[in-house]
Chain A
Amino acid sequence: MLKEYFIRRALYLIPVLIFISFMSFSLIYIAPGDPAEIMMTSPSGGYDEAAVEAFRIAHGLDQPFYIQYLNWLKGAVVGDFGYSYMSEQPVFETVLNAFRNTLTLSVLSLAIALVIAIPLGVVSALKHNTVVDDACRFVALFGVSIPNFWQAYLMIIIFSVILHWLPASGFGHGTDISYMILPATVLGTGSAAVMMRMIRSSMLDVMGKEYIQTARGKGLSEKIVIIRHALKNALVPVITVVGLSIGFLLNGSVVVETIFGWSGIGNLVVDSILSHDYMMVQGSVLFVAVIFLLINFFVDLVYVWANPEIRYDRTS
């Protein structure tokens, strides 16, 4: 049964993958005007007719739409996303490098988020329906409501401009952790809020279970009951949070990486948009979507595998 479910879910991926590739590809066609003209238009606004025609032929843009799509897809499947019209660099390699940097930052953000979320979630659940719980829940709401660009600047003002503790922005070769702390904290805030809520409801659920009563009945101290029995079990459904957090982190990366000058995928997309590098935009968006889709797919499988009973009433 479980195997059948997994196979069905995997089959669902096929139409979705085809559709997202189609969406990414046709993005360029929703732009008013001709892609070749758009791409050959200099930032000042003018373009050369002959250059546009040459460009069109060189990039196969004179072919019918579906042929162009199939050609592009053929390449995309094997990791060939074409070349940037600006830097002439291969799109896939550039995207992959940027994504690696985003991943580095995301790992630190997740760690920061967990450090904030676990204690708050546990305290909130243990003090269920008290002022402490209300306060923790409000802090979490606060965390998802604060605009990340605003928080980023506030933190730069406090920690870089006033206190001089951390650099305001920069990449630091991707290894210097002092450049990562501020962006990772800003990114982690939103995820922490979502995680805290999940840990809280999961803890509440577990604390009502019989084995907790049993553990208490055995005379174990409350601390051991909470840490060894309740928290351990409560963290299982939190796996799904990884899926949610990846979404949060990727979305946040757009603004946060731009502000902090971190060479990740969010920064790459914004830069490519501003410099009209549409091949790069197309490639990055497709890459991010495929990664996000696969992560969610695996998270879902793990979740179902851990909780077989929810398999049938899950509606999609």
Chain B
Amino acid sequence: MIELLKNRQIVLSLIILGGLIFMAIFANVLAPYAYTEKDLQNRLQPPSSDHLFGTDNLGRDILTMVMYGARASLFVGFAVVSVSLAIGVALGVLAGYYGGWLDEIIMRLTDSFLAFPSMFLALAITAFLGQGMKNMMLALIAVEWTVFARVARGSTLDVKTKGYVRAARWIGASNTYVIVKHVLPNIISPVLIMASLGIGNVILAAAGLSFLGLGVQPSTPEWGAMLNAGRTYFTTAPWLMFFPGLFIMMTVLAFNYFGDGLRDALDQKMKNLELEGRF
């Protein structure tokens, strides 16, 4: 763990992520205005000393909206990845450890979900479930869990062939014991890397869905929804779209940079993870 903090890339991305998380948690303290505060006299104001990022079409302060928006985006990112990780790791370990027909079923299920380009699957699910944050998150979980299932299965297969695992089973250790004691600790690194890259990916996808008007409702302080609301004014008041977009990019970049740094730091072998279709 201490070793990781010697990596410049990891430290730098952690600082940025820490700042963003801090901003999200303390948005109510840090924000210069209340996000519900509409000032119709001052709508569509360009950035100024009163409104650093300008104001939107309802006269709300964009800096304030961006700060509260960090809450929504980070929450969606962490929540979707946590649930996907739990589902994916559970299924992946089961498939890899027990093999046989269980493996076949789980892997074909994974393949089926992966057969859909992720944006199309997420779109289709939100289209039929209906808009809203909860449904959007369900759709993103449906897309995201497969990555973890494949990584967990691969790592489990790898661990299973190790001498100490074979020895443990030989002397009669229960399957549960072997999984908890030997398999899980060994798959933590690749799963953590995928989780970090996954959060970036989820935030990006969520913003995309909200941008299309299929995720979080417009007028909610969420980055994608803010971009959606700003579309109409993009030539006359580009700051409506510029700042939320900039923050989406910074956040996603920080998570990707962190995941990339972890991969380099933890193991050279992890380079193969690129083949999973992720960065």
A255 and B208 form a contact (CB under 8 A): yes
Cα distance A145–B205 when bound, in Å? 11
Q: Cβ of B117 < 8 Å from any Cβ of A?
A: yes
Report the separation of the CA atoms of residues A262 and B134 in the bound assembly, to the nearest whole angstrom. Answer: 30
How far is the CB of B14 from the nearest CB of chain A, in Å?
Answer: 16
User: Do B274 and A197 have beta carbons less than 8 Å apart?
Assistant: yes
Find chain A residues with CB under 8 A from B213 CB.
Answer: 274
Query: Are the C-beta atoms of A20 and B253 separated by less than 8 Å?
Result: no
User: Do residues B127 and A153 form an inter-chain contact, with CB atoms below 8 A?
Assistant: no
Chain A residues within an 8 Å CB radius of B118: 247, 251
Q: Is the CB of B107 within 8 A of A147?
A: no
For the complex formed, measure the closest distance between the CB of B255 and the CB atoms of chain A, giving whole angstroms.
Answer: 8
Interface residue from A142, A193, A201, A250 paired with B120 (Cβ < 8 Å): A250
A171 CA to B125 CA, complexed, in Å: 28
B56 part of interface (Cβ distance < 8 Å): no
Partner of A141, one of B111, B127, B260: B260
- Cβ-defined contact, B235 with A147, below 8 A: no
Task: Report B-chain residues with C-beta under 8 Å of the C-beta of A250.
Answer: 117, 119-120
Of residues 9 through 23 on chain A, the ones whose CB sits less than 8 Å from some CB of chain B are 12, 15-16, 19-20, 23
A111 in contact (CB, < 8 A): no
Residues on the A chain within 8 Å of B253, using CB: 141-142, 145
Q: Which of B115, B150, B211, B279 contacts A197 (CB 8 A)?
A: B279
- State which of B64-72, B80-88, B166-174, B241-249 sits at the interface with chain A: B241-249
Which B residues are CB-close (under 8 A) to A282?
124
Complex: chain B residue closest to A244, CB-CB: B277
By a CB distance below 8 angstroms, the chain B residues around A161 are 235
Do residues A251 and B117 form an inter-chain contact, with CB atoms below 8 A?
Answer: yes
| Given A12-B111, A141-B256, A315-B157, CB of A153 within 8 Å of CB of B119 | no
A27 to B122: give the CA distance in the assembly, Å.
Answer: 11
Most buried by A among B212, B213, B274: B212
Q: Please, which residues of chain B bring their CB within 8 A of the CB of A124?
A: none
| B117 engages A194 (CB within 8 Å) | no
Could you mark each residue 182-201 of chain B with 1 if its beta carbon is under 8 Å from any beta carbon of chain A, else 0? 00000000000000000010
Cβ-defined contact, A15 with B204, below 8 A: no
Q: A254 contacts B235, CB within 8 Å?
A: no
Q: How far is the CB of B224 from chain A (nearest CB, A)?
A: 8
What residues on A are CB-neighbors of B117 within 8 Å? 247, 250-251, 288-289, 292
Given the interface contacts A28-B128, A31-B129, A255-B208, does A149 sit within 8 Å of B123 by beta carbon? no
Find chain B residues with CB under 8 A from A285 CB.
Answer: 116, 120-121, 123-124
CA distance A316 to B121 in the complex (A): 22
**Given contacts A147-B249, A244-B277, A315-B154, is CB(A16)–CB(B111) below 8 Å?**
yes
In the assembled complex, which residues on chain A have CB atoms less than 8 Å from the CB atom of B202?
A: none
Q: Is the CB of A254 within 8 A of B115?
A: no
Contact present for B248 and A150 (CB under 8 Å): yes
Contact B116–A144 (Cβ < 8 Å): no
**The residue from B112, B120, B227 contacting A19, defined by CB atoms under 8 A apart:** B112
Min Cβ gap A195→B in Å is 11
Are A156 and B234 neighbours in the complex by a CB distance under 8 Å? yes
Contacts of B235 in A (CB 8 A): 157, 161
Docked Cα-Cα span, A30 to B253, in Å, equals 34
Tell me the complex Cα distance, A29–B207, Å: 26
A258 within 8 A of B: yes
Which residue in chain A gives the minimum CB-CB distance to B252?
A145
Would you give the shortest CB distance from A8 to chain B, in whole angstroms?
A: 11
A235 CA / B120 CA spacing, docked (Å): 30
A156 contacts which chain B residues (CB < 8 A)? 234
Known: A147-B208, A285-B124, A289-B120. A12 touches B108 (CB 8 A): yes
Is there contact, CB below 8 Å, between B256 and A144? yes
Alpha-carbon gap, A244 to B211, bound state (A): 24
Within 8 Å of chain B (Cβ to Cβ): is A135?
Answer: no
Query: Are A144 and B279 interface neighbours, CB within 8 A?
Result: yes
Whether A27 touches B249, Cβ cut-off 8 Å, given contacts A19-B112, A153-B241, A240-B275, is no
Distance between Cα atoms of A245 and B274 in the complex (Å): 13
Q: A30-B128, A273-B127 are in contact. Are A292 and B252 (CB under 8 A)?
A: no
A274: chain B residues within 8 A (beta carbon) = 213
Closest to A273 in B: B127
A281 located at the interface, meaning its Cβ lies under 8 Å from any Cβ of chain B in the complex: yes
0/1 interface trace, chain B 216-243, chain A, CB 8 Å (1 if under): 0000000000010001001100100110
**Further contacts, 11 of them, CB under 8 A, given A270-B123, A285-B116:** A27-B124, A31-B128, A32-B129, A142-B253, A149-B211, A157-B234, A201-B274, A250-B119, A251-B117, A254-B212, A278-B127
- Contact sample, A vs B, 16 pairs, CB 8 Å cutoff: A12-B108, A19-B108, A20-B112, A23-B112, A31-B128, A32-B130, A141-B279, A157-B234, A254-B119, A255-B212, A266-B119, A269-B124, A281-B124, A284-B120, A288-B117, A316-B154
Binding site for B on A (CB under 8 A): 12, 15-16, 19-20, 23-24, 27-28, 30-32, 137-138, 140-142, 144-150, 153-154, 156-157, 161, 193-194, 197-198, 201, 240, 244, 247, 250-252, 254-255, 258, 266, 269-270, 273-274, 278, 281-282, 284-285, 288-290, 292-293, 296, 315-316
State the 8 A-B residue pairs at the shortest beta-carbon distance, nearest first: A150-B245, A251-B119, A19-B112, A145-B253, A250-B117, A273-B127, A293-B115, A145-B252
